[in-house]
Amino acid sequence: METETSNPEVVGILNQTFFNNTIKEYLIVVGIFILSVVILKIFKTVVISRVKKLSEKTKTELDDMIISAINAIHWPFFVFVALYISTQFIVLNDKIVKIIYYLFLIGIVFYGIRFLDKLINYIIKKVVTSSGDDDTTIIKLLGTVAKIILWVGAALLLLSNMGIDVTSLMAGMGIGGIAIALALQNVLGDLFSSLSIYFDKPFKVGDYVSLGAGSSGTVKKIGLKTTRLQTPQGEELVVSNSELTKAQLSNFGVMKRRRTTFNIGVVYGTPTEKLKKISNYIKEIIESHGEMTDVARIHFTTFGDFSLIFTVVFYINSGSYDDFADIQENVNFKILEKFEEKNIEIAFPTQTLYVKK
């Protein structure tokens, strides 16, 4: 007995054509659409599950950021992607095809940019955590600039794929940018100088710096436009960042040791035996400070107008000016004590007049 495999009436209905496609083709498209949505939803769930398992084995926050980005993908994205895939199997009006393609493209670009936006936020957070508080403003500014470039680039990409000529638009933006740059050149100059200071790091907050103009002070704040110094007199000195990057600047905050040089003169008539021992006396005094000092050289260098001059050069192994002043003072006192003990007389300016009778 022959089995009827199909119903002629059903076949007839399925083969009816509307807008260049049969009902059967429409049903296939609906099935593909539903299947695509389900597969994308399952794929999202599986990816999140895998990333969560990996996150349990790591201590970084990157996996948490990825999970957050995937969770941010909502049903419109699945609908647009599934609609684009399913409509490839039927014949549609060119305008409808373009609209579906644009919706698909917008969904891809939008969620791609959102993922990159979260990645930028993650990077900013990590950099801010590892940097000082005074770098936060500049880091956030860089993040904002990166996001603006990202969204502008995405908009131009979409417009270009929609058949819009972006060349004239970019030219107009370029001319507008030049006009804005000319109007704000001083502000932008200070802004780029602050970026230069951030990346080059010629100084940091807390360093004592001296400018070529003779001004000096401790760095209190590095801003986007200006840097603030506190001078030794107590007032606040505000210097533009562009001026700072152009100036010859001495940074005492990075000093690891300080070099000191001084001359000491003893009177003519001091016995030669005592003169030969003076260098050793001073060397012992300096070396008594242990690792805080290093002797460079001590020599009897000059027959002065009224004294026999010894030149002393040594290093104080500290960047602190207080340490430098304390050790220098201590060395001076000990030299005086030693010379008093050994009856060595320190010279002072004298002049002898011979009057001819």
Question: Model's pTM, two decimal places?
Answer: 0.50
Contacts of residues 142-147 at CB distance under 8 Å and 24 or more positions apart, as own/partner, are 142/195, 146/120, 147/117, 147/120
153 and 212 in a common domain: no
Q: Give buried/exposed letters for 268-306 (b at 16+ CB in 10 A, else e).
A: eebeeeeeeebbebbeebbeebeebbebeebeeeeeeee
161 and 24 in a common domain: yes
332 and 205 in a common domain: no
- HEC per residue, the chain: CCCCCCCHHHHHHHCCEECCEEHHHHHHHHHHHHHHHHHHHHHHHHHHHHHHHHHCCCCCCHHHHHHHHHHCCCHHHHHHHHHHHHHHHCCCCHHHHHHHHHHHHHHHHHHHHHHHHHHHHHHHHHHHHHCCHHHHHHHHHHHHHHHHHHHHHHHHHHHHHCCCCCHHHHHHHHHHHHHHHHHCHHHHHHHHHHHHHHHHCCCCCCCEEECCCCCEEEEEEECCCEEEEECCCCCEEEEEHHHHHHCCCEEHHHCCCEEEEEEEEECCCCCHHHHHHHHHHHHHHHHCCHHHEEEEEEEEEEECCCCEEEEEEEEECCCCHHHHHHHHHHHHHHHHHHHHHCCCCECCCCCCCCCCC
159 and 31 in a common domain: yes
Is residue 171 one of the residues assigned to a domain?
A: no
Give whole-number Cα distances, 181 to 185, 187, 339, in Å. Answer: 5, 9, 69
How far is the C-alpha of 147 from the C-alpha of 117, rounded, in Å? 7
Is residue 83 one of the residues assigned to a domain?
A: yes
135 and 40 in a common domain: yes
pLDDT at 274: 92
265 and 131 in a common domain: no
Residue range(s) defining the domain that contains residue 333: 258-341
Is residue 294 one of the residues assigned to a domain?
A: yes
Residues of the chain with pLDDT under 70: 1-7, 9-15, 18-21, 52, 54-65, 127-138, 165-166, 168-189, 213, 351-352
How far is the C-alpha of 72 from the C-alpha of 65, rounded, in Å? 11
pLDDT at 151: 79
Q: Is the dihedral of CA 137, 143, 146, 152 positive or negative?
A: negative
pLDDT at 20: 66
For the domain that residue 310 is a member of, what is the CATH number?
3.30.70.100
Cβ atoms of 253 and 208 within 8 Å: the answer is yes
267 and 246 in a common domain: no
Q: Which of 149, 165, 181 is the last residue of a domain?
A: 165
Is residue 170 one of the residues assigned to a domain?
A: no
pLDDT at 63: 66
Is residue 19 one of the residues assigned to a domain?
A: yes
205 and 317 in a common domain: no
pLDDT at 137: 65
150 and 88 in a common domain: yes
How far is the C-alpha of 249 from the C-alpha of 211, rounded, in Å? 5
Is residue 172 one of the residues assigned to a domain?
A: no
In tens, the pLDDT along 286-340 reads 999 989 999 999 999 999 988 999 999 999 998 888 888 999 999 999 999 999 9
106 and 239 in a common domain: no
For the domain that residue 221 is a member of, what is the CATH number?
2.30.30.60
Q: Domain count for the chain, please give it.
A: 3
pLDDT at 4: 46
Which two structure tokens, joined as six digits, stand for 299?
Answer: 């020599």
Is residue 353 one of the residues assigned to a domain?
A: no
276 and 233 in a common domain: no
Is residue 297 one of the residues assigned to a domain?
A: yes
140 and 38 in a common domain: yes
